[in-house]
């Protein structure tokens, strides 16, 4: 519902809109979203078509530059990224300093920020050419950082990719390749991963994209903006929901699998428990990505011959929610992350890496939002406030307080 107040302050009229529920922060030509009708399009292309027919790198190009690439453009983009797929050896020392127990999202955000020290030219981007260089750098180095955060957790030696592979397969190999063992992956796993990354690639002015734009608006540079976006994505109300969902489903399973009991908990306003993976700020009918992902979960698990009781619990919860007045009235439906964790797990990706995978998928969206903001020469982001604190007070030294 509408929740806007307009208040007069000494500075004039200020609109107070907590959580920016009804405030547009920019004009954008990247992603179209109709929350009532459940429509999502990247640059005018239906998400259903892109998930089915395109690959992640094509979608990245589309989001960032506005058009689907032809063969020559895609080859150039891909090769420029490959040329940038090494990170400075000193970065290994930084990674080495983290405890093994560190959450991969914190590690990834820190490493992304640390990249600036080794690539200082990525900060001042005065031309489209400078921007392009910064973009292919981060697209090339990010999968390496993603893979390394996992390898660190698994005590595996740090590696680099194989230039002969596609973007997603290369990422997968970097993550899972083990010394002395021949790397082999089922093609369906790469296809499923590619699809998940596409579905996560952009979602207009969400919390992390707005963070990227906000930080970027101070001209802090692309990598610093992306690092901030990763931190924003980490939270369980945003990208961290995919980890929270699987932990919740596991918890329900361990408790005996009574979905009804947890539905009641979610509705109890005195209980902080929320049904993770349900509800969305914008989608109030269904999340089109959730539809695609639910189908994909069935296909992937079926194809790999996995019988996961957690998928049955998820379907049970969804069915109950669709018939429950509380959820129906508040238009709470499964969002993209309700089923994504189940697929990630089936693909052998550990739970703590789920949000990292989301970050990798969202990378092109963050880049596209940042680039659009810079090209449009948007002013620095600086919201106003309504001050409700004390009036002028007399200072007393500590001895008199």
User: Annotated active-site positions, please?
Assistant: 280, 337
CB of 3 or CB of 83, closer to ligand ACO = 3
CB of 131 or CB of 313, closer to ligand ACO = 313
Closest CA to 205 of 21, 392, 393: 21
Least Å distance between CB 38 and ligand ACO?
14
Task: Go through 56-74 and write b for each residue having 16 or more CB atoms within 10 A of its CB, e for each that does not.
Answer: bbbbbbbbbbeebbeeeee
Q: Which residues bind ligand ACO (CB under 6 A)?
A: 19, 237-239, 241, 266, 274-281, 330, 332, 335-337
Least Å distance between CB 263 and ligand ACO?
9
Q: Coil, strand or helix: which one is 12?
A: strand
Residue tagged 């190009």 (tokens)? 61
CB of 77 or CB of 278, closer to ligand ACO = 278
CB of 306 or CB of 328, closer to ligand ACO = 328
Cβ contact 347:193 at 8 Å:
yes
Least Å distance between CB 313 and ligand ACO?
16
Number of C-alpha atoms within 13 angstroms, CB side, residue 107?
28
SS (H, E, C) 18-29: HHHCCCCCCCCC
Closest CA to 324 of 290, 275, 291: 275
SS (H, E, C) 286-355: CCHHHHHHHHHHHHHHHHCCCCCHHHHHHHHHHHHHHCCHHHHHCCCCECHHHHHHHHHHHCCCCHHHHH
Give DSSP secondary structure letters for 115-129: HHHH-GGGT---SHH
What would you measure as the largest C-alpha separation in the chain, in angstroms? 75
CB of 215 or CB of 332, closer to ligand ACO = 332
CB of 189 or CB of 241, closer to ligand ACO = 241
Least Å distance between CB 199 and ligand ACO?
10
Least Å distance between CB 94 and ligand ACO?
29
User: H or E element: which one contains 32?
Assistant: strand 31-34
C-alpha 323/C-alpha 325 separation (Å) is 7
Least Å distance between CB 26 and ligand ACO?
19
What values do phi and psi take at 42, rounded to 5?
-100, 120
User: How far, in Å, are 34, 47, 173, 277, 393 from residue 287 at the CA level?
Assistant: 10, 11, 31, 11, 51
CB of 19 or CB of 180, closer to ligand ACO = 19
Alpha helices in 83-221 (DSSP H): 90-96, 104-118, 128-153, 167-176, 187-199, 207-216
Least Å distance between CB 147 and ligand ACO?
23
Looking at the chain, how many residues does it have? Answer: 401
């Amino acid at each position: 519902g509408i929740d806007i107040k307009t208040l007069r302050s000494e500075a004039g009229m200020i609109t107070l809109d907590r959580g920016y529920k009804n405030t547009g922060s920019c004009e954008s030509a990247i992603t179209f979203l109709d929350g009532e009708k459940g429509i999502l399009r990247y640059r005018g292309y239906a998400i259903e078509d892109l998930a089915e027919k395109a690959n992640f790198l094509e979608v990245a190009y589309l989001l960032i530059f506005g058009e689907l690439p032809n063969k020559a453009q895609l080859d150039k983009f891909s090769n420029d990224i490959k040329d940038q797929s090494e990170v400075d050896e000193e970065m290994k020392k930084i990674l080495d300093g983290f405890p093994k127990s560190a959450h991969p999202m914190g590690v990834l955000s820190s490493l992304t920020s640390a990249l600036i020290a080794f690539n200082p030219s990525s900060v001042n981007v005065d031309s489209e050419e400078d921007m392009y260089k910064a973009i292919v750098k981060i697209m090339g180095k990010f999968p390496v950082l993603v893979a390394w955060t996992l390898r660190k957790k698994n005590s595996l030696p740090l590696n680099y990719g194989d230039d002969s592979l596609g973007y997603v397969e290369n990422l997968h190999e970097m993550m899972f390749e083990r010394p002395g063992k021949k790397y082999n992956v089922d093609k369906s796993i790469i296809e499923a991963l590619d699809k998940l990354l596409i579905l996560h690639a952009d979602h207009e002015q969400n919390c992390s994209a707005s963070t990227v734009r906000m930080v970027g608006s101070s001209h802090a540079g692309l990598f610093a903006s992306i690092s901030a976006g990763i931190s924003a994505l980490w939270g369980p109300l945003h990208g961290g929901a995919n980890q929270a969902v699987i932990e919740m489903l596991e918890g329900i399973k361990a408790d005996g699998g009574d979905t009804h009991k947890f539905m009641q908990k979610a509705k109890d306003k005195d209980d902080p428990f929320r049904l993770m993976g349900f509800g969305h700020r914008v989608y109030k009918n269904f999340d089109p990505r959730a539809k695609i992902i639910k189908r994909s979960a069935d296909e992937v698990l079926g194809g790999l011959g996995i019988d996961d009781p957690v998928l049955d619990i998820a379907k049970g919860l969804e069915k109950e929610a669709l018939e429950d007045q509380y959820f129906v009235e508040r238009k709470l439906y499964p969002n993209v992350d309700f089923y994504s964790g189940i697929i990630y797990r089936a693909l052998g990706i550990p739970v703590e890496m789920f949000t990292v995978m989301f970050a990798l998928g969202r990378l092109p969206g963050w880049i596209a939002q940042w680039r659009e903001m810079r090209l449009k020469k948007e002013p620095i982001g600086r919201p106003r406030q309504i001050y409700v604190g004390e009036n002028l007070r007399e200072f007393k030294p500590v001895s008199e307080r």
